Amino acid sequence: MGSFKSDIQATRFDAATSNVIIAPAVRLRGIIIAGAATSGTVILKTTSATGATLFQGDVPAGDIINFSFPEDGIVFPKGIYVSTFTVAAVTLLTDKYSGPNLTAG
């Protein structure tokens, strides 16, 4: 019987922003990208909205992309920021982290 590596947390955002999505260092395990009426792109960076690009995802119009990263995912050592957002919504699946609006559990 397999064992769990760690707890995960889902963080959804659905508006174009250049603000931090997740502030602490975090490991991205998977992503769900919902396309808009036209094809779109989401670019995730670390440090700031102009920092190093660690992920870029493109999605066809009206499609949904659901991707789990192999092995240990992508480490965002200084948080996850978004610099380009032309899709309907994004859900990030990450290691559990401490942050605002989280409940104990």
Please tell me the predicted confidence (pLDDT) of residue 20: 86
State the total domains in the chain: 1
Q: Which domain holds residue 41?
A: 14-95
Q: Identify the burial level of 94 via C-beta atoms within 10 angstroms of its C-beta, where 0-12 means exposed, 13-18 middle and 19 or more buried.
A: buried
Query: And the tokens for 94?
Result: 């990450």
Residue 101 in any domain: the answer is no
Residue 102 in any domain: the answer is no
Q: What is the pLDDT of residues 63-99, one digit of tens each?
A: 999 999 998 899 999 999 998 999 999 999 999 876 5
**50 vs 104: which has the higher pLDDT:** 50
Strands (E) located in the chain: 8-13, 20-22, 26-34, 40-46, 52-59, 64-68, 74-76, 80-85, 89-95
Please tell me the predicted confidence (pLDDT) of residue 105: 38
Please tell me the predicted confidence (pLDDT) of residue 78: 93
Residue 16 DSSP code: -
Residue 20 in any domain: the answer is yes
Residue 22 in any domain: the answer is yes
Q: What is the pLDDT of residues 19-63, one digit of tens each?
A: 889 988 999 999 999 999 999 999 999 999 899 999 999 999 999
Confidence band for 5, pLDDT divided at 50, 70 and 90: low
Query: And the tokens for 7?
Result: 């707890």
Residue 82 in any domain: the answer is yes
Residue 19 in any domain: the answer is yes
Please tell me the predicted confidence (pLDDT) of residue 79: 93
Residue 1 in any domain: the answer is no
Residue 105 in any domain: the answer is no
